[in-house]
Structure 1
Amino acid sequence: MKLNDHILIWNHAFIQVIDVRHSAMEHGEALRAYRLPVSAFLYTIRGSAEVWLDGNAYVAKQSFIFHGGKGMNLTILAIDELEYYMILYKPTLTLPNREEFVNRIGQDNPFQYQYAFAPSYPLALFDKLTRLEKEWNQTTALGKLHVKSIFYQFVYELLRQLNHHDVKPIRPDLASLATHYIHEHYSEMITLESIAQALDCSEGHLSRQFRNTMQNSPIHYLSQVRMNQAIQLLMRTEATLQEVAEQVGFPDAHSLSRSFKKYIGISPARFRKKHAHDWRDQELPLSMNRIAVLLNNNHLYNDNENHFQYKTGRELLMQRRTKIAIMALVMCVSLLVSACGSTANTNVNLEVQANKTAGTNAEQTNQQAAATVKTRIVSTQKGDVEIPAEPKRVASDQYLGYLVKLGIVPIGVRSYMLNEAWISKSGISNDLIAGIEDLGDFPMNLEKLTYLEPDLIIGSIEENIELYEKIGTTVFLPYWEGESTAGPLDKFRRISELFGKEQAAEQWIAEYEQKVDEAKNKISGIIKEGETVSIVQIGWDGLYVLAAEGGNYGSSTIYQMLQLPPTEHALNMKNGFEKISLEVLPEYMGDHVFLYGAEDEGAEKILDSNVWKGVPAVKKGQVYNYGSSGEKEDEFVMEDPYSLELQLDKIVKVLLAEEK
């Protein structure tokens, strides 16, 4: 890109300064594989170091400036005692109507360029940096405004010297950045959209560049990485399928099994039985066959500038001390609880002690506690738990929609929750969702949890509860019970009881049930008296029929809410679903069939079969396609209040459309 184009884009972009850091490194100290969360300037002012930006090596002596884009990998090895500034900034294009401008920024983004040089006039840049640091440390709004002014002065001086040196920036290798990102985040619920957002590019541009370089699509490459990791775990550990699924980025064992059979050709259980000991015969050294469960997939940074990592301000401190700090924290809490002689839950002993000592005049106990912490007892499947009467800092690995509907915005949730389908259709502001910390997959990231200091943690998987209890007061609230799920309204009531918001929950339930009654009137007569309804899900590995109770994918809306009559098979299922073969499909089919996944991969084979075409409901045109389990999940995956409202509207629309 020409310098004039570079300057033009700087002039028309909104810049948000994320952090200003002034750090020092001792001789021999290293900052390794630090993934830039946003675009960044690094300016060394004293000492010398070897610096690598995405594999490109530089030697910095005294004054040297680097620029790297979001997602690039930074490594610093201090040769002498090193002092440097790092400025993290986030650019946003402000001209959505200038299509040619958008295309230019999408395909040739100067904020993603890599360049490095020794400035001819280092003091001019140093002056801007010292002023920038001073204003950044001010807490006033006026000081923050001044930060932007000084930052632009810094950029002006830098571009002026960049032009003087005739430096040729290096365009980022987008495919390489994407593969690094996939290998670091494969255990999370990532999509093509999230990868593109992480790398500040469009989905189309990313796909084209990735295919040109890798002869593969990003999502197919992600699936291959996950399958390779799953193979290692199946061969070399005794982890359950659920544990393997959670470790490699699948929500459950069922999803893993479907994908595994698609890519490998056999089920995970059969693969393990056949290859459990093959790894001992492999010629590759262990270092080249790393097991995912042993890897530390915790990342220092992510996309959200409001996240806790930006508030620490010292990436070196995080790398050197986080593991030690969390171990020390857990040990200190355990020792303190033991010293108090309490046998109650370790997560609430400090609060109970505060209640005991605060029963006298508050003025006499100021030196012991700032205020009395009120608590109450709630009953769970793991027994009674004492929790704060009014939790203010809630973290949860499930139930985001339930919490938000009750007016509770959690401080952190599991990654998958932040991408639920109801969010974009709910009218809730993006800022609200952006302020919620991404805590990774099951179990939630313990380091982030510790830093966030939640006063209540909600866990939905029993085996993770002990881990959470070491950090804070924890309540076990299972989402799935075996292969069935409790009724969505019952779940909502359970959540409301934790927060004393039963009245708010019942008010919404009453309003929702009124909508259900209105929906019943609209569809009255479509399902005739004596007719039955089936719900069929098409998966890549076969057919699933959903049960009358305990199912998912909208079955509660169809059967419990709208009270459409199920077949005998659906009534007698012990679990929430049953997998069947195509040959026995007619036995499970009712007079009307709701079909989930009709447009998904592999559906054509079933829908074009003579068995399917011979089903009476199909012949009569009484099949209702209502959802998809494709890459972007829909409103039938979850059962929170927002999803239930969307499901109700969708089912009514589908039925009425078919009736016409």
Structure 2
Amino acid sequence: MDVVTRKHKERSMTMNIEEYGALWEHITIRLLDIRIMTVNTSEDPNTWMLPSNAFLLITNGKGKIWLGQGIHSIKGTYILHASKGMRLDCLAKKRMELHVLSYSSPESEKPNAEESQTYTGAESLQVSFGFEPTYPLPLIEIMQLIYRQWNELQSAGRIQTKALFYQWLAEMLKQMQEQRKNRTKLDRVDQAVRYLKRHYAESLKMEQVAEMLDCSPRYLNQLFQLQLNISPSRVLSQIRMEQALKLLVSTKGTLQEIAERVGYENGYTLSRYFKKHYGVSPEFYRKRRESSIPDVAPKTFQPHAALESHYLGWSGRTVSIGDADQPQPEQETIDLKGVQVWKSSAAALPRARTRMLATSMGEITIPNKPNRVVVDWNLGEVLALGVTPLGAPHSLIESNQMLEPYIYDQVQDIGNHNFISIEKVLELEPDLIITWNPAAYASYARIAPTVVYGGSGNGSVAEEIREMGRILNRRTEAETWIKEYVRRVHTLQQTITGKVSAEKTFTVIDPNWGEHITLVGNTGTRGGKAAYGLLNLRPAGKVRQELLEPGLEYLDIARSAVGGYVEDYLLVLDNGPRHGLDQASGKPWQKSIETDHCQIINLDWNRYFLSDPLSAVLQAEEMADRIMAR
């Protein structure tokens, strides 16, 4: 079966796998990011614009993925390749798990991503395709190794990561070629035997193998008995015995050493199984071999030759990075630039211009006063201390217009806060990266010193700002800002208390997403902290019981039920045109609210998305003005 790039259900274009594979022999790539994403079931698809070329390995789930104009039906393991700038829509009918491996290649980039829908030849890697692998287990296994190795920031670990990527790529291309030759898809028994041959040296349990094949151990055993007339455990034992036989002949290793190399805990266990399988002890066999006496035949010989012919190409060996027939990694160009470059550049600076900073990920060396800072979330905390970041997600700046007066220089766009462009961050050459996401640390740390910022962890504004002051070496600015913050909040609360009765209740809602309405709590974004935290407004009874007391950030309710959560004031985050604010007409769900006793105040959604201390106090001041104007 040829691998195709789908444009519509009725049309397809065959992809030349040989030419595509040949391209990888002549290009240099940069591994940018490797992460695991989960897509939960929903009625509406999740949408991303891919910031870089990427391979996607879907390991679990069911649903559909739209990539450009192509539609891919997902039923289990599936591989996709997408080029930079393409739109990806994912609709999960069963929870999906995706490994996303992003990379860049200067030789293969084109300005218009939409031109990449069709493979055009050997001049570009800008091609989108998808297929269901025949043998998913080795692809999953290698990708999991890549993901784990990615977090190793030592140079050897980075080199091995890239080598593993080429190993994964070779396996993928091999399977694409095999499918093109119209080989039938192997069943669970074939996959299980392949897995056993690759992992015989490990402590394997059949429950583990069955789980990876999405079946029960009992069912797997039945399949083996039906097709091979032998249990999976016996197949594993046979593989181990053959490997032990080879090691006895080709090495001088002790029985204990050989046992450990073929998956047994000790030499006694190996000796017992060996004698049962071949009829003689390992010591006897080795002595006879040294005396040039012909080999003994297995006592309980199984028709393994049939297995070998059926699984031709694996030959019972474990593929390793050093195998001569595996693709060798090209010289590392960008990953070696990552951690080592910023370490060496920091080391080249005079000691007075750098400092050591203790972080949750270890101690790092950073400039004494960072001035090329990139943030992927904590925009307000940085701006509060007088630092305009070099780069930040456009989605944060556009979604909190209140911060515009605090931005003194142009901020470079690094993508959406849910899908950061590692390529763009790399281009900016930052001297410090501040992230909220521990999973992104390994990717960022290859570019510049990186801090995982979690604030104080206890919700204290003062501690959050002090922590950012420590990171940016702006402790004095932090203390000054905290004092001003306390003063402004105190003034707000005093003003509200004098104008609004303490008995009046408030509800904050976001009606802009889907068929439901989102009730906003006091611990997350969208104005909740400003209303219930800073202004100390009293929540409506059901809001307090179902949202604030359990500590929930949000609660989705049916539009018809909103009236039960509203009493005196309703604060509505309106994502419509700004001239439409404060107009309560035209919204069907508002008909369920008694407008004669409930006052509706519309707020601009684009000013209330963030909840950092600076954003929250600005939101609270605007909110107080709107309430008191009623």
TM over 0.5: no
TM-score (normalizing by structure 1): 0.42
Q: Quick one: higher RCO (CA 8 Å, sep 6+), 1 or 2?
A: 2
